[in-house]
Every structure is written in C-alpha cells, then in structure tokens.
C-alpha cells in the first residue's frame, strides 16, 4: 500500500465514524509565546481542551505536521542514528471533545489496524497505565478490560507514569494513555529475546506506533487531580512508522515516504545507501532534515538568526555538514531534493507545491553561505596550525573558530586528527560553558511540552542548548 493510500485510508476511516476531517495546522506556531513548533497532533487543539472555545465538531481527525527539535520533545540526536525518529513527521490523529471515550477509541484503533490495514494481530502489543501511588491512582482497569476483549492478556503490558500518563503541562487536562506497539523483528531476532520485554525499550524493530490518550482529570495548581466534567480522547499515530509496518520494511527510511529522496541523494552524490553505516546516517539525516526545513519554509518560517528561524537554520546546517563531511559534497545540493519531496508530498500538502520555488531558493542560498563559512574556516584553521608549535592547538583558538566564524569544533578535530594534531578540549569546553550560560539566560525557558520564547527581533538569538547541531563523528550504532 502506497503511503498516499495509507494516509487517505486513515482519514476515510474516521470520516466513516462521523469525524470531521481538517487540514494540518502550520507546523510553525505564530501568536503562541509558549510553543515554537507544533510537536504533536494535539497542539492545535490545546485551547479546546482548556475550555477556551469550542471546536466545529466534537469529532475531528487529521494528519498533523510535527517538529520535535526542542523542549521536552527533542528527538534531534536520534535522527539518522535510529530509523524511526524524525525531526519532522506526520502524526495521524482522531479526537473526541467531550464525546466518545475509551470504548470507541480502543475499538476503532483495533478495527483500523487489523481490519482496514490488515495488520497481523500477532505482531501487536498494547500498554495500559499501571497507576501511580504519588497521585493515588490505580490501574486503568477500564482500558485493561476493553483490551482484554480483543487481545490476549499476555500482550497487555503495564506502563508507568512516564510512558502512560499524559499531562499537558504542570496544570491542566491529563489522563492515562494506552499505546500500541508493533514487533516487526525477523525470526532470527525473535529467537534472541521474547517480544514483550522489548516494548518500552529502545529496539528498532519493536516500536510504538499509536498513543491513545484519555483525558479524564484536571491537574490543579496544588498538584491534586480532579475529574473533568467532560472527557476527551486525543490519539497520535506516527505516519512514517505505520508505513514501515504496512510496507513490510524494517526502517521508516525504506518506505516510499523516503526512498525517492534517498535515491536522489544517491544520484547527486554518487554514493550508495546501505553499504557503509556512516554514510547511511548522513543520508538519513539529510533526507530527514530537508523535509523539516522545506515544510518550515512553506509554513512561513525562513532560516534566520532569531528564535524559530535559528532552529531551522541550524537544522539545515546540520544537514549541510553531514553532506560535507561524509558525502564529500562541497557545493549546494540539498535544494535539489525539494523537487522529489514536492512530488511525494505536494498533493497532501499543497503549501509545498505552492512554495516550491521559494523553498529551493532559500535552501540554496543558505547552503552557499554556510559552505563559504566552512571554506573560510579551513583557511583560518590552516593558519592556526602554521602558527602553532607542538602538537596541540589552544582551546581558545578552536572556540574562536566556532564562535566567530561558525566553524564547528568536531570538524576542526577531524582535520587536526588527520595531521596528527589535537586541541586543548578542557579550555574549549570551559569557554563554551561560559557562553551557553549566557545564552540560556537570554533566550529560552524549557517547561513541559511548551518552550517559552522571548520575542526580541533586534537581539541575536544565541541558541538553545537542547538543539545541538554537532555531528557526532564517532557515535553510530549498528541497526
Ligand atoms: P517514542 O517513545 O517512540 O519517542 P513518543 O512516546 O515520544 O514516541 P508520542 O508523543 O506518544 O510519541 O506521539 C505519538 C506517536 O507519534 C508515537 O506513537 C509515534 O508513532 C509517533 N512519533 C513520536 N515521535 C516521533 C518522531 N520523532 N518521529 C516519528 N514519529 C514519531
Ligand atoms: Mg519520544
Ligand atoms: Mg513513547
Ligand atoms: Mg507515546
């Protein structure tokens, strides 16, 4: 089943259950000082759950563009290294605003997965909230009993407060959730460990696909819980992960959401995906980041030195650096991927089609300017090396290269290593810490799901410490 049909089937299914289908909200938040980017399907509906305003329908379904690169949900470091976390991804969701509750949400999720999509029941596991002493809450018996009717009990697992209790923030609507996990391991992999043990662990082939949140409490300022008068359902399913399952592949990057982009990267850079893990990571990073950056630009957020724009600039620079370092690409090429991306996504997301030219121009310009920076950095580094006696360069020089010229320290390290040189890391780290401290005070407060952004257009945004763009030259794990 093609990804386009998978998306359409989700929406058709919930339409048949009398949900109103709405388009994705822009990924970039405007007018909300508490959140920079939409990071879940629920975010655009936040106000309804808080009781401010009423939705057009009490049943809604959609696919929502999400970006998880800052705040509580920051998956950036995983992207490329694993095969199922993206920066930008689509979250398929269905909502009940004070309408249906656990019974329907669970029954429909099961019906859609096993009957409409035909997922083999034997690869599914579910989790339910086990309760929490801290809050005086018991097992979510209601959910457990509903699941018991449809899935063998040894496939119902207990989840703790961290994984199976959702809260909007330190106050407000909250409640237990039930997650659906898939086990797509090969027989060989299965022989090693039983599946159930791997749920909620970091295994690339036992992954969470759908989270069903049941909002039934309100967390008050004194931390106590009260029952909500109206109960709500909020579900989120990772579209790319669903495609992985339905297309019978072991990685999101092997689905038709990503393969056209990867083929294009291979053609442009003359490398082959699947031969060398370092190269593969770089390819996955680039294929992922071009989506994040393109959709952000399509939604009106261009790379810049301020707040959200700076986050986007750094994501793009991260992609450029992976290309520069591992694919040996010293001239702009990421903008050339926008064409295939548009062919894939432009029908479901017309903003991509409409803004294609702008997206290409902006990315190309950014690539040019950052590649110039990297070139200049190489010249400067050469000079530093010439003026250094001994085998160690001062940490201050490496910091200056990074701070003043934007030349990243791990690239410096790589070049130094090639010449049997090193630098004083301790000194470098001290200077970096000092600067980060300043940046943190001046820019962002991370709180729960929401990131508070100080709006000051004149002031240069120093950066989020949670958004590291550094390319890890050594850390890559086999999958
Ligand atoms: P995980 O535990 O895998 O990080 P999560 O519990 O953080 O996922 P939720 O906040 O429950 O994710 O979001 C709902 C669904 O969105 C998940 O079940 C998953 O399918 C999908 N999802 C979450 N984060 C990502 C991501 N970074 N890339 C792709 N899909 C994601
Ligand atoms: Mg997560
Ligand atoms: Mg999870
Ligand atoms: Mg989850």
pLDDT of residue 448 exceeding 50:
no
- Ligand nearest to the backbone CA of 241: 1
pLDDT of residue 36 exceeding 70:
yes
Report the predicted TM-score, pTM, of the whole model to 2 decimal places: 0.88
Domains of the chain, residue spans: 3-252, 258-353
Q: What is the ipTM of this complex?
A: 0.99
pLDDT of residue 462 exceeding 70:
no
Pocket of ligand 1 (CB under 6 A): 40, 68, 75, 85-86, 89, 91, 208-211, 236-238, 240-241
Q: Which atom of ligand 1 is nearest to the CA of 87?
A: 27
Among 71, 88, 113, 241, which is best to mutate for testing ligand 1, by the most ligand atoms less than 8 A from CB? 241
CATH topology of domain 3-252: BirA Bifunctional Protein; domain 2 (3.30.930)
Which of 26-30, 376-380, 396-400, 456-460 is the least confident region?
456-460
Instruction: For the chain, give the number of residues.
Output: 479
pLDDT of residue 442 exceeding 60:
no
Residues with CB in 5 Å of ion ligand 3: 208
pLDDT of residue 6 exceeding 80:
yes
List, for residues 141-191, the tens digit of each pLDDT value: 999 999 999 999 999 999 999 999 999 888 889 999 999 999 999 988 888
Predicted local confidence at residue 206, as pLDDT:
92
Query: Distance from the CA of 238 to the center of ligand 1, in angstroms?
Result: 6
Residue nearest to atom 9 of ligand 1 (CA): 211
Residue nearest to atom 31 of ligand 1 (CA): 238
Q: Which atom of ligand 1 is nearest to the CA of 79?
A: 27
Q: Which atom of ligand 1 is nearest to the CA of 208?
A: 18
Q: Which atom of ligand 1 is nearest to the CA of 180?
A: 18
Using alpha carbons only, what angle is made at residue 209 by residues 32 and 199, rounded to the nearest 5 degrees? 120
């Amino acid at each position: 089943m093609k990804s386009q049909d998978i998306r359409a089937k989700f929406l058709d299914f919930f339409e048949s259950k009398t949900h109103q289908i709405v388009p994705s909200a822009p990924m970039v938040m405007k007018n909300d000082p508490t959140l920079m980017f939409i990071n879940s399907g629920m975010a655009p509906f936040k106000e309804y759950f808080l009781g401010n305003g009423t939705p057009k329908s009490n049943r809604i379904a959609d696919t929502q563009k999400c970006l998880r690169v800052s705040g509580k949900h920051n998956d950036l470091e995983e992207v490329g290294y694993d095969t199922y976390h993206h920066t930008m991804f689509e979250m398929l969701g269905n909502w009940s605003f004070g309408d249906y509750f656990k019974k329907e949400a669970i029954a429909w999720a099961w019906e859609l997965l096993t009957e409409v999509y035909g997922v083999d029941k034997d690869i599914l596991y579910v989790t339910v909230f086990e309760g929490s002493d801290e809050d005086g809450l018991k097992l979510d018996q209601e959910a457990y009993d509903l699941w018991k009717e449809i899935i063998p009990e040894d496939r119902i697992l207990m989840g703790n407060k961290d994984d199976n209790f959702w809260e909007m923030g330190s106050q407000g609507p909250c409640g237990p959730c039930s997650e659906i996990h898939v086990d797509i391991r090969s027989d060989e992999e299965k022989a090693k460990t039983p599946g159930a043990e791997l749920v909620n662990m970091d295994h690339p082939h036992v992954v969470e696909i759908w989270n069903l949140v049941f909002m039934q409490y309100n967390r008050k300022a004194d931390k106590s819980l009260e029952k909500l008068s109206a109960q709500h359902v909020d579900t989120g399913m990772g579209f790319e992960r669903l495609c992985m399952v339905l297309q019978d592949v072991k990685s999101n990057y092997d689905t038709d959401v990503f393969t056209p982009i990867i083929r294009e990267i291979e053609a442009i850079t003359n490398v082959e995906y699947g031969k060398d893990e370092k190269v593969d990571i770089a390819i996955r990073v680039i294929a992922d980041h071009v989506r994040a950056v393109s959709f952000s630009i399509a939604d009106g957020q261009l790379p810049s030195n301020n707040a959200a724009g700076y986050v986007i600039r750094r994501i793009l620079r991260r992609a450029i650096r992976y290309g520069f370092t591992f694919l040996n690409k010293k001239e702009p090429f990421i903008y050339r991927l926008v064409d295939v991306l548009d062919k894939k996504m432009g029908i479901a997301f017309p903003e991509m089609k409409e803004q294609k030219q702008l997206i290409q121009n902006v990315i190309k310009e950014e690539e040019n300017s950052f590649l110039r920076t990297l070139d200049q950095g190489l010249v400067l580094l050469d000079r530093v090396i010439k003026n250094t006696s001994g085998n160690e360069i001062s940490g201050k020089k490496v910091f200056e290269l990074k701070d003043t010229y934007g030349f990243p320290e791990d690239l410096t390290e790589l070049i130094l290593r090639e010449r049997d040189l090193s630098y004083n890391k301790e000194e470098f780290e001290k200077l970096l810490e000092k600067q980060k401290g300043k940046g943190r005070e001046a820019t962002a407060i991370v709180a729960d799901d929401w990131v508070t952004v100080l709006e000051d257009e004149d002031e240069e945004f120093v950066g989020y410490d949670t958004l590291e763009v550094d390319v890890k030259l050594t850390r890559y794990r086999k999958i």
